[in-house]
Amino acid sequence: MTTTFPKDFLWGAATSAYQIEGGHLADGKGPSIWDAFCQVPGKILNGDTGNDACDHYHKMEEDVLMMKALNIEAYRFSISWSRLMPNGTTSLINEAGIDYYNRLIDTLIKHGITPWVTLYHWDLPLAIQLEYDGWLSDESIRLFTDYADLCYSRFGDRVKNWITINEAWVIAILGHGQGVFAPGRTSNVEPYQVGHNLILAHAHAVKCYRDKYQSEQKGQIGITNNCDWREPATDSDLDKEAAQRALEFFLGWFADPIYLGQYPQAMRERLGDRLPTFTDEQRALVLGSSDFFGLNHYTTMYAAHDAGDDSAGDVYGNGGLSEDQDVKLSVDPQWEKTSMNWAVVPWGCGKLLHWIANRYDNPEIYITENGCSYNDTVENGIIADTKRIDFFEGYLGECNKAINNGVKLKGYFIWSLMDNFEWASGYSKRFGIHYVDFHTLKRTPKESAKWFAKYIVNNK
């Protein structure tokens, strides 16, 4: 397939701190909820932890050179809150942690790579969880804003692209609904309380940036939400409504308040007093609090109306607490699957981009994650991950078509720069375009990395 992207289209790769950094207690860093969660027997496959991960903390310069060889223009990474603030508050600032991220930012810029910084990618300082009950507490909003303020003041002279929170849905549903991610809680009430606080924390952090820094530093700030496409299982009105409802419970939950000023109608109707409400002041704060639409997208599922309560499905695939939605999810058995058992459905990406454009008045979109996991093997020093190349060609082809049809897609970040710690799956899943030997930590470009480097050049 021949594609030609706009000349100003941004090409990047993405990672997150806990998944690659290691150095979990190095140079004054405090523990995070993921450091603690990994110590709970049975929570992480094979008892793996992120204590060492890819040791990016010590291999940063080598990894930036690896990025340079990719021809990427931007690198999206997250900052470890507890590396900067070991107890999560301004009472203790770890200058060694600030120095580390200053070196990373400076090294990226030296090699012509633009830093895109995510403030929060799930690794809450453990002290905040223990002392304040984490994201369940209103105090988390103030603490996150203080942390964001520190980052803007220390890094904002060079960082011009900020993402407040990565995938609030995961924090709420997998962390507080289904309990499979840190902090490992199960509830049908907590996810909506946590989601509410995350939206307000995002909005307050954005207000801080806009009030104190944006005009001088001339940057942009937004939030990244994740969503899979939901295709109606049949042409029936019930299934069409179910697919729409599933998207509202997944993406609309966090995007509607920012772009439309309130939670989706489906959620308000079905959740009752389990769904918090915004005051008029909060609604005004949240509305318009994103300069761009950050999207992480991986897969597609069919959605059908289901009046029963047996539609929980795979925890990664389900767009929320199933009993609240009356949606049954399924996949076509003919669809190619990744090693995460996620279906490869490029056209779902195109449909989701158009859904976002139609619902939210065609905002500027950045795909901040898109990728796939396969069981890669090294043969004679070569990792021939042809299925991953096929995946990227298919999804980028749909991105290109969406742009040509008027969607304001401005950039694309591949997930991930390298194999890493895949949360509850430990080191068993490989999303990287660079192979990491987790015994030696040697990085090796997969064939997909070589392909991506050429693809970028051919589309500039």
pLDDT of residue 313: 45
pTM for the full predicted model? 0.97
pLDDT of residue 321: 74
CB 412 within 8 A of CB 11: yes
Confidence of residue 322 (pLDDT cuts 50, 70, 90): confident
Average of pLDDT values for 435-460? 97
Q: Is the pLDDT of residue 374 over 90?
A: yes
Which pair of structure tokens corresponds to residue 136?
């369940």
Q: Is the pLDDT of residue 448 over 70?
A: yes
Q: Is the pLDDT of residue 119 over 70?
A: yes
Share of the chain above pLDDT 70, in %: 97
The one-letter amino acid at 289: S
pLDDT of residue 3: 79
Q: Is the pLDDT of residue 133 over 60?
A: yes
Average of pLDDT values for 75-95? 98
Q: Is the pLDDT of residue 204 over 50?
A: yes
Confidence of residue 1 (pLDDT cuts 50, 70, 90): low
Q: In order of start, what are the domains of the chain with their CATH numbers?
A: 10-458 (3.20.20.80)
Share of the chain above pLDDT 90, in %: 95
Average of pLDDT values for 127-141? 98
CB 288 within 8 A of CB 207: no
Average of pLDDT values for 350-359? 99
CA distance 323 to 112: 49
Which pair of structure tokens corresponds to residue 239?
């299934």
Q: Mean pLDDT score of the chain, rounded to an integer?
A: 96
pLDDT of residue 314: 40
Confidence of residue 124 (pLDDT cuts 50, 70, 90): very high
Does residue 416 have a cis peptide bond before it, meaning omega lies within 30 degrees of 0?
Answer: yes
Cα Dmax for the chain: 63
- Three-state DSSP string of the chain: CCCCCCCCCEEEEECCHHHHCCCCCHHHCCCEHHHHHCCCCCCCHHHCCCCCCCCHHHHHHHHHHHHHHHCCCEEEEECCHHHHCCCCCCCCCCHHHHHHHHHHHHHHHHCCCEEEEEEECCCCEHHHHHHHCHHHCCHHHHHHHHHHHHHHHHHCCCCCEEEEEECHHHHHHHHHCECCCCCCCECCCHHHHHHHHHHHHHHHHHHHHHHHCHHHHCCEEEEEEECCEEEECCCCHHHHHHHHHHHHHHHHHHHHHHHCCCCCHHHHHHHHHHCCCCCHHHHHHHCCCCCCEEEECCCEEEEEECCCCCCCCCCCCCCCCHHHCCEEEECCCCCCECCCCCECCHHHHHHHHHHHHHHCCCCCEEEEECCCCCCCCCECCECCCHHHHHHHHHHHHHHHHHHHCCCCEEEEEEECCCCCCCHHHCCCCCCCCEEECCCCCCEEECHHHHHHHHHHHHCC
Average of pLDDT values for 284-302? 98
Return the number of other C-beta atoms located less than 10 Å from residue 180's C-beta. Answer: 17
pLDDT of residue 312: 44
Model confidence pLDDT, tens digit, residues 246-265: 999 999 999 999 999 999 99
Catalytic residues: 167, 369
Average of pLDDT values for 357-362? 98
pLDDT of residue 307: 75
366: left (phi over 0), alpha (psi -120 to 50) or beta: beta
Average of pLDDT values for 422-445? 98
115: β partners: 75
Average of pLDDT values for 77-94? 98
Q: Is the pLDDT of residue 113 over 80?
A: yes
